[in-house]
Chains A and B, each alone.
Chain A
């Protein structure tokens, strides 16, 4: 691993990718809503910086468009939407209880190691910088998924979802210098619609369940009759697995 032998641009790319991975861990452990949303925005910003650096280092000007899309969606629009919704639902100071935080973070570490292990198999295709960044992007995706599995709050699940999406977008930027433009635009459109729909759902959830805690979902499960009494329910963690 001769990091010093890499060009400065590549070193900076690895540095910012590592920082983005670090923000994923922060999100995993962050119980309060507002800092969670801000951390997500920071991750978006870091990934934007990486995209710009890759664009300059590799001479692919179309990556600037990807960077702009990432910036608009992940740093401005989605965090702003989530922020405003949390404020309107009066939950910006809410914090949820994270069960087994140590185990969760160790699980995250295991996922990072797993990502590096998987990306070893594609060593011969690319250089050092790409290999690291592919592993990091896969780790960001998997950590987003872990966040979704571990949390019961709808907001945290949305953040996990968007973080997964960021990880994949990042993978496309570093491994193939972006997807074809039409695909990127379609992707951005889908994510935008998804974030608006999530917002709609927050209100529906609050109206139906009184809170955004999806851990209390228990009406649809194989273990129950269609209309279960509230006490005769399965643990909610089994439902979303």
Chain B
């Protein structure tokens, strides 16, 4: 059995096992164990890919290169740390009576199935299977968004289901069009026309530009909905704010990345066959719009999880902008930003989850004095916010700085909206977080059982990436950058 198979099978079998045992007290531990197995296998596989270059599995079903292997590791890692957080969190929810045994089983099982679908989407070589896995990711999470069965949760889940369903259907149409273009070039008697490796090798020879352009528009709308690009973002704050917090952490930290990964893969094909910057320009436009609009919306939020989900939209917009700009420096910055955003945002959601349990509500104006009631949570939220807002010692600063530099070189005028956007977003976060962290705690507020280990690890990694990117990681990003943009930034 190859390492890739272990990486994929561990969450799938874990999901099946937890479908039976998910309500037992041991389920939280099983969840963690499965996460560890997945992460371990992914890590070893990544080292292999790092040493020996891209790997194509026996039936050409899976393709692992520098770009997706690092996302596989990131996904497995955040999946593991979130499962560590989810054990005490879900136990607390059961004690509060918000979750029954059956729903707890559903939660644990779907958590692992969700990770499986994302890992499948990342590692598959087939654009059709990529689509199927993305849809599967929606299907596995939709019942988790409505886990609490409140009217708000049902409404959020329905919106999520319908909007993402419609969006992802557009992506399927785009995939059909790409298949159509490739088949009229390669002839119809082959069964490997939808494989990314095959498509990428023929794309340079010119697929029909009209069809490819049309396909990219459909794919951008489709996968863009899942990335949460404005104006297709409506589902995202709802789904993030109403579901259980571990779900928000993995949705925000991982699912958005995977959707963006799909978009970038397609962009590589489109760029190779069109030789224009059309795909990049579209992505830049949508990215900048999302970045600006989400920054403004941060100011009007009343729900803490909703606020941070708008921050996710903002950062995904920035990353899309970076990938759209192309060029080695921007791509390097975007890859780094994907990593640090995932780590920081999942750490923030973990902290926010504990803070909400502490205050008994998600409303910003009722969460007060975290740092005095439970310093670990207060400091976690404060440092997380400082990190995500892009302050110097943390990695987000480095990636945003790189993106800003790249913008200044290629599109000098666009640095102005970017800088204004950073300021607006920081103000939006600071005005809310400052009051939640400091301020007078309401009487009777007691500390809760919290496991801050994942937060510490994530923030430490982000800090490390901000102070010095380790050599092997830099070379890794460089390999991925060369793959995507065709040139090295170093």
Same complex: yes
Task: Kindly state whether residue A19 has any CB partner on chain B within 8 Å.
Answer: no
**A141 in contact with B363 given A148-B162, A176-B188 (CB within 8 Å):** no
Q: Mark B369-381, 1 if CB is under 8 A from A, else 0.
A: 0000000000000
Contact in complex: A209, B173 (CB < 8 Å): no
Instruction: Report the minimum CB–CB distance from B151 to chain A (whole Å).
Output: 4
Task: Kindly state whether residue B300 has any CB partner on chain A within 8 Å.
Answer: yes
Complexed CA–CA distance, A217 and B129 (Å): 34
Complexed CA–CA distance, A128 and B208 (Å): 18
User: Of the candidates B158, B297, B362, which one forms a contact with A222 in the assembled complex, judged by CB atoms under 8 Å apart?
Assistant: B297
Contact in complex: B152, A186 (CB < 8 Å): no
- CB-CB < 8 A to A220: which residues of B? 152, 155-156, 159, 237-238, 241-242
Contact in complex: A217, B158 (CB < 8 Å): yes
Complexed CA–CA distance, A240 and B159 (Å): 7
Instruction: Report the minimum CB–CB distance from B16 to chain A (whole Å).
Output: 15
A side interface size, CB within 8 A: 50
Task: Kindly state whether residue B184 has any CB partner on chain A within 8 Å.
Answer: yes
Task: Kindly state whether residue A172 has any CB partner on chain B within 8 Å.
Answer: yes
Stretch among A46-54, A73-81, A199-207 lining the B interface: A199-207
Task: Kindly state whether residue A125 has any CB partner on chain B within 8 Å.
Answer: yes
Identify which of residues 214-228 in chain A touch chain B, using a CB-to-CB cut-off of 8 Å: 214, 217, 219-220, 222, 225-226
Q: Mark A135-149, 1 if CB is under 8 A from B, else 0.
A: 000100100010010
Task: Kindly state whether residue A239 has any CB partner on chain B within 8 Å.
Answer: yes
Task: Kindly state whether residue A165 has any CB partner on chain B within 8 Å.
Answer: yes
B side interface size, CB within 8 A: 56
Contact in complex: A180, B143 (CB < 8 Å): no
Identify which of residues 138-197 in chain B touch chain A, using a CB-to-CB cut-off of 8 Å: 139, 142-143, 146, 149-152, 154-159, 161-163, 165-166, 169, 172-173, 176-177, 179-180, 183-184, 188, 191, 193-194
Contact in complex: B139, A193 (CB < 8 Å): yes
Complexed CA–CA distance, A219 and B363 (Å): 14
**A208 in contact with B151 given A122-B211, A186-B129 (CB within 8 Å):** yes
Q: Mark A184-210, 1 if CB is under 8 A from B, else 0.
A: 001101100110011011001101110
A182-B129, A207-B149, A222-B297 known; 8 new pairs, CB 8 Å cut-off, are A148-B166, A168-B169, A176-B176, A180-B194, A186-B132, A187-B128, A204-B154, A214-B158
User: What are 9 pairs between A and B in contact, CB < 8 Å?
Assistant: A154-B158, A161-B162, A175-B176, A175-B177, A176-B176, A187-B131, A194-B165, A220-B237, A220-B238
Taking Cβ atoms with an 8 Å cutoff, the residues of A that contact B are 118, 121-122, 125-126, 138, 141, 145, 148, 154, 157, 161, 164-165, 168, 171-172, 175-177, 179-183, 186-187, 189-190, 193-194, 197-198, 200-201, 204-205, 207-209, 214, 217, 219-220, 222, 225-226, 239-241
